[in-house]
Structures are given as C-alpha cells and as structure tokens.
Amino acid sequence: MTTGRGGSRTAQAHDLQFARESVACAADAVGRGDQPFGAVVAVGANRLVASCNEVLATHDPTAHAEIVAIRAAVNVRAKHQLDDCTLYASCEPCVMCAGAIAWSGIRRVFFCLPREIAERYGFPDVLPRQISRAATAAIEIIQVAELASDACAPFDDWARLYSGKAQSVPLDPEDKGRTVRRW
C-alpha cells in the first residue's frame, strides 16, 4: 500500500520495481563517492532512464538524481515534455527538483523516503516545503512506505563513509541555530 495526495492506492508491480531501482541507484551513487539519491523515469512499465546523484562528481549543485534523470529522459525522447512519464525517487524530491518535475510535465512521482529522514543525515531542504507543494499541486505524489527501510541503507552507508568529512556551516548568518552540512 502506498500513500499520497488524495488518499491511499495500491502500487502496480512495475511501480515497486522502479522504486527499488531508484534505491539501487542511490546505493550506486554512494559507491561512486556521491550523495545517496537515485531516480528512475518510466513510461508505464517501460524504464527510460535510471540516474544517480552527481553533485560531487560534477561539482554541479543542480545535479540531483531527479534532475539528472529528467535531463536524460528528455534527451532520450527528444522532447522537453514528459507528461506521460512517472518519476521514481529514492527520497522525496527537494524544492529544486519539485520545480524541475513540474516544468517537465511529469504528472506522477513515487518516492521511498520522506525528506525529514534525509535531513537527519545532513541533507536539509533549504527552502520552505510550501514552495514544493505549490509547484507540485497538480502532480500525484505517492510515498512507497514499504521501501523506506531499504531506502535508508544508502544513507547509512553514506554516514559510515563520509560523516567525518562534513562540516556544519550556518544556513543563514543571522540564524545561528540552523546549520547545513557541507562536503
């Protein structure tokens, strides 16, 4: 059973398969020395692309797994709209990714881990969630809660490998209590 806007629904077998693939991509990202996020874009039961987070590898702060997947999918399809596609993410998309999802026309998103868990591992969303909710108001967003514990594994691996290499810096110089971890 999955939960999302408008209540609960049962995910199709391919939805669970692609959600699991997004978690595998997150684990692959950690194995490559990048941050623990993965994404898959599919049309129905057909996977178009699977992507890992590439922020550290490319030194590009916008290279989140969801955006890398959207960029690859529009290249595969040779069109800028993905309105018949579904995005599967190992973690709930951040505000930037929510905007990219909305602009790409994707109408369904499945995610495994809520953002609050990512924040506990040092990956805060630096903008208010109301912005992403407004950007994705017309998008069906569904949490695949049964995969949440699996989706924590890449974060645990990340913490084990890299937690000593991060430093806490103020999110806002005026707000001394709220910090963000930078690598």
Residues 6+ apart with CB under 8 A from 111: 19, 88, 89, 90, 91, 92, 93, 141, 142, 143, 144
Going by C-alpha positions, the residue among 103, 96, 108 that lies closest to residue 80 is 103
Q: Is 66 a catalytic residue?
A: yes
Integer angstrom CA distances of residue 52 from 26, 57, 66, 159:
6, 10, 8, 17
User: Which of these is catalytic: 54, 66, 92, 174?
Assistant: 66
Residue type at position 31: G
Enzyme catalytic residues: 66
